[in-house]
């Protein structure tokens, strides 16, 4: 039987060719659009940064993500069908600063049509006089007049009877977005060059030898510069046809025939890094990295590709304003494609980064594919860094997904400025697998990083621990980090029971179980080991004796401790460095004995309040809470054994309703036992040895140089003064 009492607690231009690329195609029973929006990566809201071009045939829109894990993310949709063009441009106050180093990163989606995809998108810097209305000047205002190969930024190649090479170049260039630089993501090859069957505006994707590029690609150049276009002539005996191809600088392309390079039903991450030697330097280097993050895990991808283009600022900014509009254009011809963009960092606002580092008790960093022992103490640290920006990174929402097969029990949040975030009990509980928390302090020049550190231990399970993606999002920027994939191997320690248990045991006297510890990695002296037992839900601690041989132990089941029937006993050994064995499960049953007249086991005198008072000192500290507190147990049975356990709820400030940055701890010769978990902790146990007894459990609680024993309030350095209240549940158990 058990009895419980609740009491109050009060207190205070380089090209790459990709020969192969792993592909995961959207499921056949899902439309491309639905698949894209429900798998949207983590991004930022963008309506405050961009304007969409609205015209007779521009279909660009901004809409919300349908991924429940990326609720704040907004998606720029440039096209929705065939014969469309779309553009999205930065607002005037959000223009690209050409005088400073900049970073912009985004996720792009090109549909799942493979070879039938059309036509692609382009990232553009421009100072066209039309500003946020800029796009290619098409020959008419009917959808059929849209030439998909322009991607909404390049010029129109429809001057097919012009003999002059120079004039042809000029005619094409003047229909492009003026004063611009573009990086194209081209999903469809436009490769007409033979007179028979050649069509207008369908020859951009030829190489210098008039042979087609091998597949979908990335390339850059200046759309309004005549030199970006190379004129060619094809003819028969009677007629000729003038066409141009685009000079593809900084080319990154797929292997021959690989049309899944872009339009494969997956999101592709791109990062552009703009570097200028000085504000008045006439040139800058733009490095673009494609598929630099895995679309499933978010991990940095070593198999991605990058190229660098040397930008002549005068071609974008001839008036030397130091600014340029930036954004995306997209177009489709007769084919269809969903051209979607999700931004995670926009230039000039905030540039940041997030990492996840997992270490074991030896400070070894766990890498991809490493093996970790079962029962190994682990520390997982997420570090979010502010690198640059014109504003602080604020109101950051951390959404942490913790690895499986690891039990985490604490979380601590440290800022670079020395402050600590208080973690409400509503955000965190031991052994949870998710942690959602609004960071208290913004990141910026005076507080450049924050770490979220979780401590725990690997469970007694073998197999693969899969990576988990976590995100940090705000209106200014979004960042993700991923834990490594690792394996759980055998435990570093194992327990072996040497005492055979073949039937009921005599528990009218102390009963001893003998066993030993197997060391799989390194030996420990007995003084560094202790047995943690849980008998019928009651947790106890017992040190190994240095008198015994190394690793040998004797576990005592006190007389009259077992109840009638089967009793569960769980044994585990824990080393001083935190390494633990797998639990050893034992079932024991006492021999039957004659019934005796039962007496009463109950709480006697009880104090209703346990108070802690003290002054905050800006550092962690412990307060002792005895001061006359009484908790009496009366046992009137002729023979009886009882145990007393306790579990505490969080302490809540009565005005703000915020939890205390601290916890109740029971101290004894066996160590410190926090009372904030789901398991009740053993406070006392007693055998009345055939006499009626009355025991004041708090009678030997003390706080002095000789010993600390009893209930203490452990305060973190971030604790805030106030009037906190909570409940302790005392559980009195008849252990007969």
| Residues 323 and 384 placed together within one structural domain of the fold | no
| Residues 169 and 244 placed together within one structural domain of the fold | yes
Contacts of residue 691, defined as CB under 8 A and 6 or more positions apart, other chains included, come to none
Judge whether residue 8 has pLDDT over 60: no
* CA angle centred on 476, ends 98 and 96, rounded to 5°: 15
Poorest-confidence range of 25-29, 30-34, 49-53, 628-632?
25-29
CATH number at residue 110: 2.60.120.200
User: Which contiguous run of DSSP H or E holds residue 696?
Assistant: strand 693-696
Residue 515's domain comprises 493-588
In-domain check, residue 20: no
| Residues 508 and 454 placed together within one structural domain of the fold | no
The alpha-carbon radius of gyration of the chain (Å, integer) is 35
In-domain check, residue 306: no
| 532, 553 Cβ separation under 8 angstroms | no
In-domain check, residue 30: no
* Gap between the Cα atoms of 554 and 543, Å rounded: 10
Report which of 329, 268, 213, 258 is spatially closest to residue 114, judged by C-alpha positions. 258
- Per-residue confidence (pLDDT) for residue 681, from 0 to 100: 83
Which residue in the block uniquely carries the two structure tokens 């050994």?
573
Longest C-alpha distance within the chain, in Å?
A: 123
Judge whether residue 88 has pLDDT over 80: yes
* CA angle centred on 272, ends 268 and 274, rounded to 5°: 180
Six-digit token string for 294: 């895995």
* Gap between the Cα atoms of 517 and 519, Å rounded: 6
CATH number at residue 564: 2.60.40.10
DSSP-based helix, strand, coil % in the chain, nearest 5: 5, 45, 50
Q: Which residue, 489, 511, 531, sits at the end of a domain?
A: 489
**Residue 227: phi, psi to the nearest 5?**
-70, -10
| Residues 98 and 208 placed together within one structural domain of the fold | yes
pLDDT tens digits for 402-435? Answer: 999 999 988 999 999 999 988 887 788 777 899 9
**Residue 226: phi, psi to the nearest 5?**
-55, -30
* Gap between the Cα atoms of 221 and 180, Å rounded: 9
| Residues 202 and 252 placed together within one structural domain of the fold | yes
| Residues 339 and 250 placed together within one structural domain of the fold | yes
- Per-residue confidence (pLDDT) for residue 13, from 0 to 100: 34
| Residues 79 and 163 placed together within one structural domain of the fold | yes
Residue-averaged pLDDT of the chain = 86
pLDDT tens digits for 16-29? Answer: 333 333 333 333 33
User: Which contiguous run of DSSP H or E holds residue 38?
Assistant: helix 32-38
**CA 105 to chain CA centroid, nearest Å:** 18
Report which of 344, 342, 340 is spatially closest to residue 353, judged by C-alpha positions. 344
Cα-Cα-Cα-Cα torsion 288, 294, 298, 304, nearest 10 degrees, comes to -30
| 599, 698 Cβ separation under 8 angstroms | no
Average pLDDT over residues 575-587: 89
| Residues 511 and 619 placed together within one structural domain of the fold | no
Average pLDDT over residues 565-578: 90
Average pLDDT over residues 88-94: 95
Q: At 627, is the pLDDT very low, low, confident or very high (cuts 50, 70, 90)?
A: confident
- Per-residue confidence (pLDDT) for residue 11, from 0 to 100: 35
Buried b (16+ CB within 10 A) or exposed e, 70-83: bebbbbbbbbbebb
| Residues 508 and 568 placed together within one structural domain of the fold | yes
* Gap between the Cα atoms of 226 and 173, Å rounded: 5
Q: What is the DSSP letter of 501?
A: -
In-domain check, residue 424: yes
In-domain check, residue 655: yes
First to last CA, the chain: 9
93: burial class by Cβ within 10 Å (0-12, 13-18, 19+)? exposed
CATH number at residue 684: 2.60.40
**Residue 612: phi, psi to the nearest 5?**
-125, 125
| Residues 456 and 575 placed together within one structural domain of the fold | no
pLDDT tens digits for 353-367? Answer: 999 999 999 899 999
CA–CA distances in Å: residue 231 to residues 155, 173, 312, 736: 13, 12, 23, 98
Judge whether residue 349 has pLDDT over 50: yes
Q: How many CA atoms lie within 13 A of 274 on its CB side?
A: 28
CA–CA distances in Å: residue 243 to residues 231, 326, 481: 6, 29, 48
Cα-Cα-Cα-Cα torsion 310, 298, 360, 552, nearest 10 degrees, comes to -160
| Residues 364 and 501 placed together within one structural domain of the fold | no
Q: Which residue, 569, 588, 607, sits at the end of a domain?
A: 588
Within a 10 A sphere around the Cβ of 148, how many other Cβ atoms?
A: 26
Cis geometry, peptide bond prior to residue 565 (ω within 30 degrees of 0): no
| Residues 632 and 704 placed together within one structural domain of the fold | yes
Q: What is the DSSP letter of 651?
A: P
In-domain check, residue 593: no
* Gap between the Cα atoms of 658 and 425, Å rounded: 8
% of the chain beyond a pLDDT of 70: 92
**How many structural domains comprise the chain?**
4
In-domain check, residue 512: yes
- Per-residue confidence (pLDDT) for residue 296, from 0 to 100: 65
Which stretches of 60-101 are assigned E, i.e. beta strand?
A: 61-64, 74-79, 85-90, 96-97
CATH number at residue 381: 2.60.40.740
- Per-residue confidence (pLDDT) for residue 634, from 0 to 100: 86
**Which residues are registered as beta bridge partners of 305?**
290
% of the chain beyond a pLDDT of 90: 49
Buried b (16+ CB within 10 A) or exposed e, 282-296: eebebebbbbbbbbe
Q: Which residue, 562, 588, 614, sits at the end of a domain?
A: 588
| 414, 450 Cβ separation under 8 angstroms | yes
- Per-residue confidence (pLDDT) for residue 673, from 0 to 100: 82
In-domain check, residue 475: yes
Average pLDDT over residues 620-648: 81
Average pLDDT over residues 172-182: 98
pLDDT tens digits for 263-303? Answer: 999 999 999 999 999 999 999 999 999 999 877 666 666 56
- Per-residue confidence (pLDDT) for residue 540, from 0 to 100: 83
| 148, 333 Cβ separation under 8 angstroms | yes
**Residue 717: phi, psi to the nearest 5?**
-65, -20
């Amino acid at each position: 039987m058990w009895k419980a009492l609740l009491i109050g607690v009060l207190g205070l231009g380089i090209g790459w060719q990709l020969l192969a690329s792993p592909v995961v195609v959207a499921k056949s029973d899902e439309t491309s659009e639905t698949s894209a929006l429900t798998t949207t990566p983590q991004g930022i809201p963008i309506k405050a940064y961009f304007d969409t071009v609205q015209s007779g045939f521009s279909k660009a829109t901004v809409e919300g993500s349908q991924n429940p894990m990326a609720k704040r993310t907004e998606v720029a949709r440039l096209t929705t069908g065939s014969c469309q063009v779309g553009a999205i441009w930065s607002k005037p106050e959000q223009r690209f600063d050409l005088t400073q180093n900049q970073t912009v990163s985004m996720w792009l989606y090109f549909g799942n049509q493979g070879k039938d995809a059309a036509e692609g998108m382009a990232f553009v810097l421009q100072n066209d006089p039309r500003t946020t209305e800029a796009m290619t000047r098409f020959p008419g205002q009917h959808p059929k007049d849209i030439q998909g190969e322009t991607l909404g930024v390049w010029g129109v190649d429809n001057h097919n009877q012009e003999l002059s090479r120079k004039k042809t170049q000029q005619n094409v260039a003047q229909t492009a977005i003026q004063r611009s630089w573009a990086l194209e993501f081209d999903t469809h090859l436009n490769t007409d060059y033979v007179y028979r069957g050649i069509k207008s505006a369908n020859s951009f994707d030829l190489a210098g030898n008039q042979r087609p590029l091998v597949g979908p690609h990335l390339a850059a150049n200046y759309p309004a510069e005549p030199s970006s276009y190379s004129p060619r002539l094809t003819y028969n005996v009677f007629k000729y046809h003038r066409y141009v191809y685009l000079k593809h600088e900084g080319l990154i392309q797929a292997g021959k025939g690989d049309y899944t390079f872009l339009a494969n039903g997956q999101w592709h991450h791109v990062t552009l890094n703009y570097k200028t030697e000085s504000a008045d330097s006439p040139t800058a280097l733009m490095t673009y990295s494609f598929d630099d993050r895995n679309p499933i895990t978010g991990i940095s991808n070593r198999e991605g590709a990058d190229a660098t283009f040397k930008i002549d600022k005068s071609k974008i900014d001839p008036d030397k304003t130091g600014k340029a509009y930036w954004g995306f254009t997209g177009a489709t011809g007769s084919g269809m494609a969903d051209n979607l963009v999700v931004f995670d960092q926009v230039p000039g606002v905030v540039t940041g980064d997030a990492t996840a580092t997992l270490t074991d008790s030896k400070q070894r960093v766990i890498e991809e594919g490493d093996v970790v022992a079962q029962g190994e103490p682990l520390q997982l640290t997420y570090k979010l860094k502010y690198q640059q920006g014109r504003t602080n990174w604020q109101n950051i929402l951390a959404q942490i997904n913790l690895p499986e097969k690891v039990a985490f029990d604490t979380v601590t949040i440290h800022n670079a400025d020395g402050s600590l975030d208080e973690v409400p009990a509503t955000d965190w509980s031991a052994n949870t697998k998710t942690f959602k928390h609004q960071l208290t302090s913004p990141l910026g020049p005076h507080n450049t990083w924050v770490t979220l550190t979780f401590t725990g231990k690997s469970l007694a399970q073998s197999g693969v621990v899969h990576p988990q993606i976590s995100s940090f999002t705000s209106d200014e920027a979004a960042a993700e980090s991923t834990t490594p994939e690792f394996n759980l191997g055998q435990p570093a320690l194992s327990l072996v029971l040497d005492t055979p248990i073949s039937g009921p045991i005599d528990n009218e006297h102390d009963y001893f179980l003998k066993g030993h510890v197997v060391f799989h990695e390194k030996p420990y002296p007995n003084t560094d080991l202790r047995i943690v037992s849980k008998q019928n839900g009651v947790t106890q601690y017992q040190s190994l004796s240095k008198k015994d041989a190394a690793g040998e132990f004797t576990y005592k089941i006190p007389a009259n401790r077992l109840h009638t029937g089967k009793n569960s006993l769980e044994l585990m050994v824990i080393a001083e460095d935190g390494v633990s064995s797998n639990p050893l499960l034992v079932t024991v049953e006492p021999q039957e004995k004659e019934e005796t007249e039962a007496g009463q086991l109950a709480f006697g005198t009880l104090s209703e309040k346990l108070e802690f008072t003290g002054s905050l000192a800006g550092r962690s500290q412990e307060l002792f809470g005895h001061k006359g507190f009484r908790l009496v147990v009366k046992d009137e049975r002729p023979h009886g054994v009882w145990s007393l356990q306790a579990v505490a709820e969080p302490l809540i400030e009565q005005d703000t309703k915020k939890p205390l940055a601290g916890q109740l701890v029971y101290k004894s010769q066996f160590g410190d036992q926090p009372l904030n978990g789901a398991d009740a902790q053993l406070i006392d146990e007693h055998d009345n040895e055939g006499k009626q007894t009355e025991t004041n459990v708090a009678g030997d609680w003390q706080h002095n140089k000789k010993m600390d024993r009893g209930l203490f309030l452990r305060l973190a350095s971030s604790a805030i003064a106030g009037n906190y209240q909570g409940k302790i549940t005392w559980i009195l158990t008849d252990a007969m």
